[in-house]
A and B are shown apart, each in its own frame.
Chain A
Amino acid sequence: LAKTTQPISMDSYEGQEVNITCSHNNIATNDYITWYQQFPSQGPRFIIQGYKTKVTNEVASLFIPADRKSSTLSLPRVSLSDTAVYYCLVESAGRRALTFGSGTRLQVQP
């Protein structure tokens, strides 16, 4: 299973764009990249998923280079409510990641 590496923490201010990068050097051909958000004492919540190039939804964008060995979650204009832990997962259909990893703790300041 592909191992992921993310920064432990990041700080930002309201209104700024935040980019969180995840490394997954041994990603397999069938693997997809999924990002989740988790607030304290709650379950993780799906944000976005992609396989290659760029994916955008109403919440975020996901950039995946051609070699797929990394991915970047982009949050366009963060607010205080975006303060959370963000997890990058690499999974394929029927092959669940055994751990979410340590994630990236994002702190948004006023």
Chain B
Amino acid sequence: ETGVTQTPRHLVMGMTNKKSLKCEQHLGHNAMYWYKQSAKKPLELMFVYNFKEQTENNSVPSRFSPECPNSSHLFLHLHTLQPEDSALYLCASSQLAGGRATSTDTQYFGPGTRLTVL
């Protein structure tokens, strides 16, 4: 148990469906992330939120829409996905230190949502 939970753990959806993935962190962190892990590709960073503000979008298609209402919750809204979007979607959180950093922040990952697009 890492302190980061994700729901649902498994999701099957059609290409015309709209669904949302939810992530919640209980660690008091100020940054949250979405990653995608496909079967044949490395783990890829999708979005970064610092203090609820999106600071990075790694060229993700608009059919993926993130939402961060507060520093503990992160959503990924999905619509009109393609079969190649089937993957393990991982959420992570970290604590970004203010001022001079003595190390870089460690990420804590959730268990992931296994998404299958039919």
**Does B58 make an interface contact (CB < 8 A)?**
yes
Cβ 8 A contact of B106, one of A34, A38, A94, A101: A34
By the criterion CB–CB under 8 Å, are A41 and B42 in contact?
Answer: no
Give CA–CA (A30, B104) in the complex, Å: 9
Give CA–CA (A99, B42) in the complex, Å: 6
Write the nearest CB–CB distance from A103 to chain B, whole angstroms.
7
- Interface-lining segment among A19-27, A45-53, A57-65, A75-83: A45-53
By the criterion CB–CB under 8 Å, are B56 and A96 in contact?
Answer: yes
**Does A93 make an interface contact (CB < 8 A)?**
yes
In the complex, the chain B residue whose C-beta lies closest to that of A33 is B104
Q: Which residues of B contact A38 (CB under 8 A)?
A: 43
Q: Which residues of B contact A99 (CB under 8 A)?
A: 42-45
A-B contact count (CB 8 A): 66
With A43-B112, A93-B97 already in contact, the answer to whether A34 and B42 are too (CB < 8 A) is no
Chain B interface, number of residues (Cβ within 8 angstroms) = 28
Q: Which residues of A contact B110 (CB under 8 A)?
A: 43
Majority DSSP secondary structure for residues of A touching B: loop
Give CA–CA (A30, B101) in the complex, Å: 9
By the criterion CB–CB under 8 Å, are A91 and B104 in contact?
Answer: yes
Per-residue contact bits, chain B 45-64, to A (CB 8 Å; 1 contact, 0 not) = 10010000000101000000
Chain A interface, number of residues (Cβ within 8 angstroms) = 26
By the criterion CB–CB under 8 Å, are A96 and B108 in contact?
Answer: no
Give CA–CA (A98, B90) in the complex, Å: 14
List CB contacts (< 8 Å) of A54-110 with chain B.
Answer: 87, 91-94, 96-103
Q: Which residues of B contact A44 (CB under 8 A)?
A: 43, 90, 107, 109
By the criterion CB–CB under 8 Å, are A101 and B108 in contact?
Answer: no
Q: Which residues of A contact B2 (CB under 8 A)?
A: 43, 45
With A32-B103, A93-B97, A93-B101 already in contact, the answer to whether A43 and B42 are too (CB < 8 A) is no
